[in-house]
Chains A and B, each alone.
Chain A
Amino acid sequence: MIETLLSDLAAATQARIAAVTTADELETIRVEVLGRKGKLAEVSKDMGKLSPEQRGVVGKLLNAAKQSLEETLTTRQNAFAAAALAARLEREWLDLTVPAPGPGLGSLHPLTQIQAEIEDLFVSLGFTVLDGPEVETEFNNFDALNIPPDHPARDMQDTFWLSNGHLLRTHTSPVQVRGMKKLGPPLRMIAPGRVFRNEEVDASHEHTFYQLEGMMVDKDVSVAHLIYFMKTLLSAIFKRDVTVRLRPGYFPFVEPGFELDIQCLICNGTGCPVCKHSGWVELLPCGLVHPNVLRLGGIDPEEYSGFAFGLGLTRLVMMRYAIDDIRQLQGGDLRFLTQF
């Protein structure tokens, strides 16, 4: 009888499925029994010989057997897949404490970092950033800045003079001249860059260092404005409220000229070795732009006035990181440079 045949087949197959140990064996059974040319298919071929009533009954039995076998099969297949996956994952144990191959993060030169930080501060206050050449004309470096031909700054011992009749700029101030001509009044600009002094090099002296020039020209720019700006900026640079003071200082391109001191950040003005017990640390020269300089920059000093200042970036870097040998900055030693 076909019903008996079917139930025997179903029972036998269930037993075989229960007994398999590998996914391959399971697949063999699936092909043998449930495949297109499998045993169930063969049974269904014989259905044609049955009466319509019988066909209905057997058809139901056949479907039920098929569904039951498929369910069992799928359950076991899933179990094998899960086991295989678990085994694979277990094999993939990895020691993540081993160092990663390839290079780590590189680092920017500390001067680049401090320069970028200060540039961003100034840009946020509406200043543009200008560059000037390392090789400058004597005119831009001296004459245009009201430094007359007899001034000691022009002496051989301070300036690198060049075979082409020009010089290596001794300060970033020539960019004031370039900036005034390029931008016209009113203007707000800074000019960071490399400058040169013809000096013997030791732990605290370099012939190559970095400055940041700043200039603001507008109607009625005053000493009180300069003090406000310097206090605001230096507080941002040092990330705390900074007390500043101005005292007379002589620089030919400003009148009046000042030395700006900040209250010592180490002792808060009570006196310590860093400030030589004075409570103050000399930080930057500044002043109101000399009318001759404005005039040579094409700006009418009766209509406009301005302030200018020069910040020593190299000095600032050395202060921030307590670097005790200035030569490290241009030494190219990665043991030093990778610390920043």
Chain B
Amino acid sequence: MKFSSSWLAEHIDGLNLAPAELGSLITIKTAECEGVEPHGAHFDHVVIARVLTSEPIPGTHLAVASVDTGRYGIKQVVCGAPNCRANLLTAYVPPGQLGVTNAKLRGVDSAGMLASSKELGISAEDEGIIEFAAGNPGDAIPGCSSDTIIEIDNKSLTHRPDLWGHHGMAREVSAITGRPLRPVAAELPSGPAPIAVTIADAKLCPRFSALRFENVTVQPSPLWLQQRLESVGLNPINNIVDVTNFVMADLAQPMHAYDAAKLNGGITVRPATDGESCPALNGTTYSLDPTVLVIADESGPVGIAGIIGGGPSAISASTTTILLEAANFHAASIRKTSTKLKLRTDASMRFEKSQDPANTVRALARAVALLEEVSPGIRLVGGVADVYYSLPPLAPIEFTLAWMQRKLGKADLTAAEVTAILTSLAFGVTEAAGQFTVTVPSWRATKDVSIKDDLVEEVGRMIGYGNLTPLPPLVPNTVPPLPPERAYLRGLRQLLTAQGYTEVYNYSFVNEAQAVELGLPIPDHVRVVNPIAQGQELLRTSLLPHIKRNINDNAREFESFRLFEIGKEIHDRGRELPEEIPHLAAVSFAKHGDGTASLFELKRLAGTIAVGCTLEPATAHAYEHPFRSAIVILRNEPIGRLFEFHPSAVETGRAAVLYLDLVKLQALRPETGKYRPLRRFPTSAFDLTVVAEPRELAGRVLHLIEPLAGPQALKVQYLYDYTSEKGRSMTYRITVGAADRTLTSDEVTATRAAIIAGLEATGLTVQS
């Protein structure tokens, strides 16, 4: 939102602040100022000039003019405008302004420029150089002056409907600076309503007010009005439309003027019907439906409520009677319609902020005086048509001085300060012995201020938060109750990086192709209803799709690498919130080699994370190497998988993956129990070599030996193997011992014999 500092100054008595300073104060006390820019600085230098002579330059469309500029003397200027002629009063731009320099055009010296309205930044008019009916050479351009524009971030105004106009911002500036706000004097005419108005739904349209005028002259606005609108980013159109825009930019009340001759009968504010359409001012015809509120006459919609007026009833050069509307609409309904039609206008932006219904008549009253100035001879017809439904007034807000002091943390805040601040912002304040009763002005009551906490902001910002002394809170000195899983995950991350794994973060989204590729059933996924980009359709039920991408991306840069991610699988649970299960994916990749090292590296890693885990061969998934895939088991529960990616899944090299469910893992981690006394008696050990099929599993045989070794077995270790096509011989070392004595050699021999017998009973051969 652009604010003209000279416009603001017109509302305030004796405002004497540099615009930059004003911008800083507004930032600190009200809303964020995004920039302070000079505007129309050339008006301090541009003057009215009289064309003395104008001679065409042969063979060109140009003319060489001699002009009397008053202040700058007689100047020779080359001009291309068709209306350049002797005796014309126009605008002279001296060199140094608007990029104009002393130049030679077609060999003719030109000292300055004669300018069009567009070149001067007054309006879009560029048919020729500007013409003045009166004035003297050397005069400043009437109604135009240099200004400074203060740009305020729209987002910081979302809760302040009143700050979408200069008058509202001037009220803030008045409160900030202590300079008095000038009253906006305007009276409404009395008389019968000039048009019948019906409102179908008072919630959607709390108020509709209108005036009718006749003997209207449609013409360009005076320059001051054009320049003022242009300075805040509004395009001058004609005097009638310009007045509606001026009032909007001043009082934040959007207005609309209809050519009354084009209206058929009374006005109804109602939802559109299916199939209705509305040709709008901007040349587009909008298809409507019952969610869209329209202003209609007896023939149909003449405007889309709060957003844009209709085309056929627009003000034109032939307009002689007008209906001037100032209405109030439901903020959310306007926003929805504006979004649906993809049409944001200066009006809809303001209505979205919950405008004040009391403002419609203020705006009409202000417009009356302006129209009389810009359309001489204009006459009101009757009084105001004003249909509204009174809302119960907001109850006064009560609070105590002590409460306000505690909220702000300012014990020396006085009742007089609070009263002065609230009064300067137009709140009604009564106070007795520190007990406040405050009424809210209508323009703050639509949604911004309703409870006492809202007034803490008003008082706090005007005192200035920088004037509060930072205060350490008095709180109990307690040890925070920290969730153990956080400490666990942090420790796990440290362990992984210490072992050479680098952490990656991946998105929570996957696309369907990624899910299909890893055999993840599409219906198991929570789906994003409104993805804006490809790859965001599904929430991941596995970390592996992105891990696979990480592998292939990094394989282009590195011969080998280790990486990991700790992230959540998200599993659909219907209407319940989905289950979010933290998982670990660790990768060891090598471009060369047979892949064994990576797999055993990850098995070792598994053993450090899930101490005591074992692996069991798994039926491989399609993306896994069919003979290199295992389930990780901890205390008889599967907690994840160890596998090598199928060669078709990786572009180059071999990638082994350890994938663990961290919820299961944490639950199964053994707790450290009571200490076991150290062994006092020596142990004995013996080796056994088992001969089996070539693909017998070392782990299976180990699990066979363990129970056979009996209670005196302290440790069963796999030592090494020798494998050929004929068979596999695997050597184990069994350590036995007792807690209370040294075992006799007979006992050891008996244990050995029992193991051998047991193994042979399963069909294995034991080498002696």
Which residues of A does B touch, CB under 8 Å? 102-109, 111-112, 116, 119, 123, 126-131, 133-137, 149-150, 152, 155-157, 159-166, 168, 183, 186, 188, 194, 196, 198-201, 207-208, 216, 218, 220-225, 227-229, 231, 245-250, 255-259, 288, 290-291, 305, 329-330, 332-335, 337-338
Contacts and interface: CB of A to CB of B under 8 A. Distances in A.
30 contacts: A106-B496, A106-B500, A107-B502, A108-B497, A109-B504, A126-B478, A129-B482, A133-B578, A134-B508, A150-B332, A156-B530, A157-B532, A163-B526, A168-B539, A186-B475, A207-B533, A222-B406, A222-B408, A224-B471, A246-B465, A247-B28, A248-B461, A255-B456, A256-B454, A257-B457, A259-B32, A332-B546, A332-B554, A333-B554, A334-B554
Of A129, A133, A255, A257, most buried by chain B (CB within 10 Å of CB) is A255
Interface in B572-600: 572-578, 580
Nearest to A135: B578
B740 interface: no
Contacts of A134: 508, 568, 570, 580
Interface in B142-161: 155-156, 158-160
Given A106-B503, A161-B528, A123 B156 contact: no
Contacts of B159: 250
A8 B483 CA distance: 88
Contacts of B578: 133, 135, 164, 166
Given A188-B475, A248-B30, A255-B451, 8 more contacts: A106-B500, A112-B503, A163-B527, A168-B528, A188-B480, A221-B473, A228-B473, A334-B502
B477 A126 contact: yes
A329 to B, nearest CB: 6
Contacts of B509: 208
Contacts of A159: 530
B156 A249 contact: yes
Contacts of B407: 222-223, 288, 305
B539 A290 contact: no
Interface in B23-42: 27-32
Contacts of A126: 475-480
A248 B156 contact: yes
A216 B472 CA distance: 13
Interface string B417-433: 00000000000000000
A173 B479 CA distance: 23
Contacts of B507: 208, 330
B461 A256 contact: yes
Contacts of B576: 164
Interface string B299-324: 00000000000000000000000000
B27 A247 contact: yes
B279 interface: no
A106 B558 CA distance: 14
Contacts of A225: 409, 471-473
Interface string B478-492: 111111001000100
Nearest to B561: A334
B468 A112 contact: no
A232 B219 CA distance: 63
A162 B409 contact: no
B499 interface: yes
Contacts of B409: 222-225
The 7 residue pairs across chains A and B that have the minimum distance between CB atoms: A224-B409, A103-B500, A222-B409, A256-B457, A150-B332, A228-B470, A246-B465
A332 B407 CA distance: 46
Contacts of B568: 134
Contact of B453 (A137, A194, A290, A333): A290
Contact of B528 (A109, A162, A228, A288): A162
B67 interface: no
B526 A332 contact: no
Nearest to B468: A224
B457 A200 contact: no
Nearest to B560: A103
B526 A224 contact: no
A194 B562 CA distance: 24
B486 to A, nearest CB: 6
Contacts of A223: 407-409, 456, 460, 465, 468
Contacts of A136: 577
B497 A107 contact: yes
Given A135-B580, A255-B457, A335-B557, A162 B562 contact: no
Interface in B592-614: none
A196 B507 CA distance: 10
Nearest to A136: B577
A129 B486 contact: yes
Contact of A160 (B156, B502, B530, B572): B530
Contacts of A119: 486
A37 to B, nearest CB: 35
B14 interface: no
B468 A164 contact: no
A225 B573 CA distance: 42
A334 B532 contact: no
B466 interface: yes
A228 B451 CA distance: 26
B497 A332 contact: no
A131 B483 contact: yes
A196 B574 CA distance: 21
B482 A106 contact: no
B502 A337 contact: yes
B531 interface: yes
Contacts of B379: none
Contacts of A207: 532-533, 536
Given A108-B497, A201-B533, A224 B339 contact: no
A206 to B, nearest CB: 10
B470 A111 contact: no
B550 interface: yes
Given A150-B332, A223-B408, A255-B453, A332 B549 contact: yes
Contacts of A183: 481
A291 B453 contact: yes
Given A105-B497, A135-B539, A224-B471, A162 B526 contact: yes
Contacts of B32: 247, 249, 259
A256 B507 CA distance: 35
A102 B568 CA distance: 30
A231 B408 contact: no
A191 to B, nearest CB: 11
A338 B558 CA distance: 12
Given A150-B335, A291-B451, A305-B407, A196 B465 contact: no
Given A161-B529, A164-B572, A255-B457, A228 B472 contact: yes
B461 A333 contact: no
Of B499, B504, B557, most buried by chain A (CB within 10 Å of CB) is B504
Contact of B508 (A128, A208, A218, A229): A208
B502 A162 contact: no
B733 interface: no
A106 B499 contact: yes
B751 to A, nearest CB: 39
Contacts of B497: 105-108
Contact of B503 (A109, A149, A222, A256): A109
Contact of B466 (A245, A291, A305, A337): A245
A150 B331 contact: yes
Given A135-B580, A220-B406, A332-B550, A152 B335 contact: yes
A224 B469 contact: yes
A212 to B, nearest CB: 13
A160 B159 CA distance: 24
B362 interface: no
B453 A288 contact: yes
